[in-house]
């Protein structure tokens, strides 16, 4: 989704803007642009397609000299991905230029008003109204004009605005869209994401909804929505620049798959104090909780589906999983006896934010499990546990998913202990398994050198089925999603026991079926389903423990996973499926880190 950056300092702004935009490429975009202010004039350059095209067009930024500027990557919502629709957008007199991340919901009525006053529109975007409003309200002070403009806007926005008459100045404002200020020496920055800042500074200010800031090379002043200057804390960004680069891997996705043992360790280790789990400084109040609702989108939702089994088993509280996009409009039956757990890597997914707000408005207590520090979901929830996975750049999540699961396992054990619903022996056994998860993940990565070869065998498939039962089924959901999002092969996940009720009609000679058989309690049953699909010609790739000799004799091909306690197994079982999707996509020459039509952070509905 859209990304924004801005710079004011003593160096030329354009190269820093281009570098920042490159760091935001992973969010998904289809056009890009920058604007630079020099000697009372603002120059704008835009392209459709990749940042590389913008670099070429501007000769690496050299064609736009000037020390103050703003930049944008656009993921089309209002209007096609064309150059006129790309940001930055200028006012009719060219004095004001704006970049915007979010959606202005009342732009149609504002556009009518501005058209009636004689303003011309060059694009189909919602954003352009902002440039014209700022021009309309400008009386010699950009900050005041932006404040008056923001008061007219409904929706979500992070805006960066420059004015030809105010050298060295950038005004930003935030409402329900991420916006972070980077504090430098003699230069200051803003961006929608810390990954665009870490090359320049580790000192950041996180703006809250309704806050404005004025950036000049010498300082940053922050104001509340009434215009009063306020003090803001400077936070330290702990993510380093290497973490946001490929480090020798062909793709971010592969790097992030390989990082999982370390990421999971980082999520667990600081929270284990001897045999006790201490969830940061947070004491999650579970008194009177009778039901738990897990809500999220995409892979985060599937992490919830997998963790449901552990939470129910250890806490003896019913858990339902709800897609955030459904929950928000479902008139949910919940109240003070409900704990809602919202999972989100980015912490900015629009549907997840809306679902969380809906649940809170009904009295539910809210726990967020989020990767990005200071994100919207982290702020709205009553309690937040960070996954500490570090920056995740590939659009298809991997370490984001496994660390979400890990934190959910920690929560399940913590809550079971607190509620006294887990006995000491089970607690100790599960805690020891949890501690060994990083090692088991490493084994899962190491024990499958055959996956690239299997990818060569299966990559031409038109469709694939992923089947399993219980926790294996939950992993099948995520395995199928990984396959379809990066390889573009139709992949469907099915509860193995449901095959007979329709899907088995689709089996034919050579139809690939990925069968997950890692949960011993139910493996025999899944094996019967393997027999059934094989009888109809399916080619079965089984995911199982190496010791399971029966499966070895049934399946056409095997992927191995180490033995893990079934309640915690999903976090390990997913690893070979991530690798399979990766190598299949590689065989098919797909754009693995930036799959078509997808965005990393879905900040619009
Ligand atoms: C997008 C991403 C997925 C992610 C989902 C939810 O669809 O491509 O990888 O699972 O959003 O994102 P979140 O940031 O809320 O976890």
Q: DSSP string of 417-486?
A: HHHT-S-HHHHHHHHHHHHTHHHHHHHHHHT-TTHHHHHHHHTT-SEEEEEESTHHHHHHHHHHHHHHHH
> What's the pLDDT at 321?
98
- Band (pLDDT 50/70/90 cuts) for residue 241 is low
Question: Read out DSSP for 42-69?
Answer: EEEEEEES-HHHHHHHTTTTTTS--SEE
Q: Which residue has the tokens 């529109």?
A: 121
The DSSP 8-state label assigned to residue 177 in this structure reads: S
- The CA-based dihedral angle spanning residues 102, 104, 105, 111, taken in that order and rounded to the nearest 10 degrees: -150
> What's the pLDDT at 600?
83
Does the annotation count 360 as an active-site position? Answer: no
Question: Ligand 1 pocket test: which of 601, 603, 604, 605 has the largest number of ligand atoms within 8 Å of its C-beta?
Answer: 601
Distances (CA, A) of 461 to 143, 455, 481: 57, 10, 15
Q: Is the per-residue pLDDT at 30 higher than 90?
A: no
Least confident of 54-58, 238-242, 291-295, 359-363: 238-242
Q: Could you identify the atom of ligand 1 that is nearest to the CA of residue 485? A: 8
Residue 482 near residue 581 (C-beta atoms within 8 A): yes
Q: Is the per-residue pLDDT at 243 higher than 80?
A: no
Does the annotation count 232 as an active-site position? Answer: no
Q: Is the per-residue pLDDT at 565 higher than 70?
A: yes
Residue 252 near residue 243 (C-beta atoms within 8 A): no
Query: Pick the residue with more confidence: 575 or 194?
Result: 575
Question: Ligand 1 pocket test: which of 28, 324, 345 has the largest number of ligand atoms within 8 Å of its C-beta?
Answer: 345
Task: Show the ligand 1 pocket: residues with CB < 6 angstroms.
Answer: 297-300, 344-346, 349, 352, 395-397, 598, 600-602
What's the whole-number mean pLDDT along residues 296-325?
97
For residue 301, which of 391, 390, 401, 204 has the smallest C-alpha distance? 401
Regarding beta strands 291-296 and 338-344, do their DSSP bridges make them parallel or antiparallel, or are they unpaired?
parallel
pTM of the model: 0.78
CA distance 507 to 493: 14
Query: Pick the residue with more confidence: 600 or 172?
Result: 172
Q: Which residue has the tokens 């109040």?
A: 285
Q: Is the per-residue pLDDT at 10 higher than 90?
A: yes
Q: How large is the C-alpha radius of gyration of the chain?
A: 25
């Amino acid at each position: 989704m859209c990304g924004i950056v801005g710079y004011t300092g003593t160096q030329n702004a354009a190269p820093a803007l281009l570098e920042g935009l490159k760091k935001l490429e992973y969010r998904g975009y289809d056009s890009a642009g920058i604007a630079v202010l020099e000697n009372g004039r603002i120059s704008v350059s835009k392209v459709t397609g990749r940042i590389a095209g913008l670099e070429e067009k501007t000769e690496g930024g050299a064609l736009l000299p000037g020390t103050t500027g703003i930049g944008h990557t656009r993921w089309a919502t209002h209007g096609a991905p064309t150059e006129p629709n790309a940001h930055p957008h200028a006012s009719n007199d060219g004095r004001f230029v704006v970049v915007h991340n979010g959606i202005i919901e009342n732009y149609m009525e504002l556009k009518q008003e501005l058209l009636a006053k004689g303003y011309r529109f060059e694009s189909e975007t919602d954003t352009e109204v902002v440039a014209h409003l700022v021009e309309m309200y400008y009386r010699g002070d950009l900050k005041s004009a932006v404040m008056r403009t923001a008061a007219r806007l409904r929706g979500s926005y992070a805006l960066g605005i420059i004015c030809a008459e105010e050298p060295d100045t950038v005004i930003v404002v935030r409402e329900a869209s991420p916006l972070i200020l980077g504090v430098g020496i003699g230069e200051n920055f803003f961006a929608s994401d810390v990954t665009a800042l870490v090359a320049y500074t580790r000192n950041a200010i996180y703006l809250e909804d309704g806050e404005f800031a004025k950036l000049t090379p010498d300082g940053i002043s922050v104001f509340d929505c009434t215009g009063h200057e306020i003090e803001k804390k400077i936070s330290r960004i702990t993510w380093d620049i290497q973490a946001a680069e490929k480090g020798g891997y062909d793709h971010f996705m592969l790097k992030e798959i390989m990082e999982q043992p370390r990421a999971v360790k980082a999520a667990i280790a600081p929270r284990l104090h001897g045999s006790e789990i201490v969830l940061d400084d947070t004491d999650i109040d579970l008194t009177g909780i009778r039901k738990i609702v897990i809500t999220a989108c995409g892979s985060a939702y599937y992490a919830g589906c997998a963790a449901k089994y552990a939470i129910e088993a250890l806490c003896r509280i019913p858990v339902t999983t709800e897609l955030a996009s459904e929950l928000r409009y479902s008139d949910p039956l919940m109240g003070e006896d409900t704990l809602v757990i919202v999972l989100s890597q980015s912490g900015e997914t629009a549907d997840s934010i809306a679902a969380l707000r809906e649940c809170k408005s009904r009295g539910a207590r809210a726990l967020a499990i989020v990767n990005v520090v200071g994100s919207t979901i982290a702020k709205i929830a009553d309690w937040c546990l960070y996954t500490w996975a570090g920056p995740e750049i590939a659009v298809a999540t991997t370490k984001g998913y496994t660390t979400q699961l890990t934190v959910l396992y920690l929560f399940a054990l913590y809550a079971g202990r607190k509620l006294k619903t887990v006995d000491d022996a089970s607690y100790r056994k599960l805690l020891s398994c949890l501690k060994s998860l990083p090692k088991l993940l490493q084994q899962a990565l190491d024990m499958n050198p055959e996956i690239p070869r299997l990818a060569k065998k299966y990559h031409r498939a038109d469709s694939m089925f992923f089947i399993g039962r219980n926790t294996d089924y939950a992993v099948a959901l995520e395995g199928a999603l990984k396959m379809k999002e990066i390889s573009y092969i139709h992949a469907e996940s099915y509860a193995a026991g449901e095959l007979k009720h329709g899907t088995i009609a689709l089996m034919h000679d050579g139809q690939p079926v990925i069968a997950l058989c890692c949960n011993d309690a139910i493996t025999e049953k899944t094996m019967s389903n393997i027999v059934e699909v094989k009888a109809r010609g399916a080619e079965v790739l089984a995911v199982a423990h190496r010791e399971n000799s029966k499966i070895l004799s049934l399946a056409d091909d095997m992927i191995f996973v180490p033995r893990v306690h079934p309640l915690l197994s999903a976090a390990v079982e997913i690893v070979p499926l991530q690798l399979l999707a990766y190598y299949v996509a590689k065989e098919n020459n797909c754009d693995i880190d930036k799959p078509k039509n997808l965005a990393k952070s879905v900040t619009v509905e």
